[in-house]
Structure 1
Amino acid sequence: MDSLDGECQSLELLKAQAHTWNHIFSFINSMSLKCAVELGIADIILTHGKPISLPELATKLSIAPTRNNDLRRLMRLLVFSGFFARKRDGNSPDHDEELYIPNTLSPLLVKEKDANVSSFLLMLDQMSLNPWYNLSSWFKQDKLATPLDGLVNEGMASDARFVAKLVVEECGEVFKGLRSLVDVGGGTGTMARAIAEAYPQVKCTVLDLPHVVASSEASEAVQLVAGDMFQYVPPADAVLLKWVLHDWSDEDCVKILKRCKEAVPSKEEGGKVIVIEMVVDLDIGFPELAETRLLFDVQMMVHATGKQRKKHEWRKIFTDAGFTDCKIIPALGLRSVIEAYH
């Protein structure tokens, strides 16, 4: 019996060690995905039109044959992580050659796709990773200011295209009856243009900082306004804040929301503020997404002054900003649509 107990304890210790190692080396998953985007692996596999062998993949990627085995090892990890699939080639000489095929996750690594994460992966450079080396020191300081990479705008635009499609398809009721909408912190206007296209009767405006607006292309469907959301928000039937408030502290969120409240009419007159954000404690039937929310929360902690909020935290900042009611609609996977009224 003692021997069996000892074996069980050893097995549990080995499992614990493996679990810890997985956390220690989890950065390899991120960096491998970044490598895949930089090489264009998903682009090749998706456009090949049929299962592709490793030598074919290496040739199309301009990788020397001496690196084929290294590429195979990278692909093994990417397949294990679920970003590609593979099958056996029964026609190969040994009937055992691996062929790579795309799956539902593969398009996320292609920059030209509406829903992609490539820009976020390319942000994983020394500048964005440096704050993580100093996380323990950060906890002992009042603040740790960190610079943001220019790829943020590209990443947010890509995410906006993806979310806009979902919002229009799944939450169309949110925009019905509106005559005007201001997308606060709307970046280059991707989200506003998608809304204007789906609802031509809605006059859309983007409010963002002068340097962001200056780099955006003008459009007949969307008006661009340079300004500071802490100071003024143009009047409209609705104000949209997509993935903006999680960057800011509760106090700053209240300030922003007060400006938004001033910009929209009352609920009885059809006014509302629309917020698209994560709700950490909301059960949407996908337990595996819980870790994603927690990772985003710690990301906000290190790179900004904000956080991902629970339901009661959202309700509190709306109340503190003078809103009398808010409705949470869990319709966008990780994120929800929150409507606030006064």
Structure 2
Amino acid sequence: MDLGIADAIHHHGGAATLSQIVTRVTSLHPSKIPCLRRLMRVLTLTGVFAVETTEPVDGAAADELPAAVYALTPASRLLLVGSGNHHQQASLMSMLLHPSFIASFLRISDWLQRELPGPCIFEHTHGRSMWEMADDDAAFNKVVNNRMVSDSRLVMDVVVREHGEVSRGISSLVDVAGGHGTAARAIAEAFPEVRCTVLDLPHVVAGAPVGAGPGVEYVAGDMFESVPPANAVFLKV
């Protein structure tokens, strides 16, 4: 994802040869192009990208190999970040590949040998929850919130389109643990008659975008202590 391979392929119309990909992946050192070829082989075998071989060009040398053309798949289209893709899930992958999560996955054997009830594997590894770490680490907090935003964009598109009837008769709604308010803004835009309140921890609300739009307000607080009154509570789990 850091190399932007999916976006490089998208730039070439959704299918590109390795040489075309390299022209867009400017951070790749020229000496590592053979390594990129091997990486693409792994990514095609696992279904992240598709691949097909072009027919030899007329006049090509007898020993010249046909070029492999790599194409986007439904999975890799979710990794597009530079094409206005509101359904991208690159932020989710960035969070799962964060060193804090990788360290947790590496402790899974030890965690599975511990008796329940007990802390989740993240807390078992780091001695504190993901939310507590986000409260103390601004960079990690950004990774977590970016993931929440991208997830809400994907989910709310379906919720508003397929299940909008649940908002009938509701004039107010509180989005509990609503993060930066992506879900609340989607509801307010689709149903202007519903006034939305976003409740989340102070450090989350502090990073919310300015100018959320009409019908949306933010409240810093703890859902285990109090929840603002409303006709309905929205809780995404």
> TM-score scaled by structure 1?
0.56
Q: Which amino acid aligns with 1:53?
A: T
Q: How does 1:1-342 map to 2 (within 5 A)?
A: 37-49=1-13, 51-62=15-26, 63-90=28-55, 92=57, 93=60, 94=64, 96-112=66-82, 113-123=85-95, 124-138=97-111, 139-140=113-114, 142-143=118-119, 144=124, 145-148=127-130, 149-150=140-141, 151-217=143-209, 218-219=211-212, 220-243=214-237
Q: Which amino acid aligns with 1:130?
A: A
Offset at 1:125?
2.8
SS of residue matched to 1:152? helix
- Which protein shows a greater Rg? 1
Q: C-alpha deviations, 1:159-195, integer Å up to 9, x for none?
A: 0001000101111112122111110000000000001
CA contact (8 A) 1:183 1:192 kept: yes
Q: Name the Cα RMSD after superposition.
A: 2.0
Question: Which structure 1 segments of 5+ residues have no match?
Answer: 1-36, 244-342
Q: Which amino acid aligns with 1:195?
A: I
> TM-score scaled by structure 2?
0.79
Offset at 1:65?
4.0
Q: Which amino acid aligns with 2:53?
A: R
Offset at 1:108?
1.0
Paired residues, number: 207
Q: 1:84 to 1:135 in 2, by over 3 A?
A: closer
Question: Which structure 2 segments of 5+ residues have no match?
Answer: 131-139
SS of residue matched to 2:2? helix
Q: C-alpha deviations, 1:53-96, integer Å up to 9, x for none?
A: 11121232133443222211111121222222222222543472
Q: Which amino acid aligns with 2:108?
A: L
Higher relative contact order, chain-length normalized (CA < 8 Å, sep 6+) = 2
Match in the other structure for 2:134: none
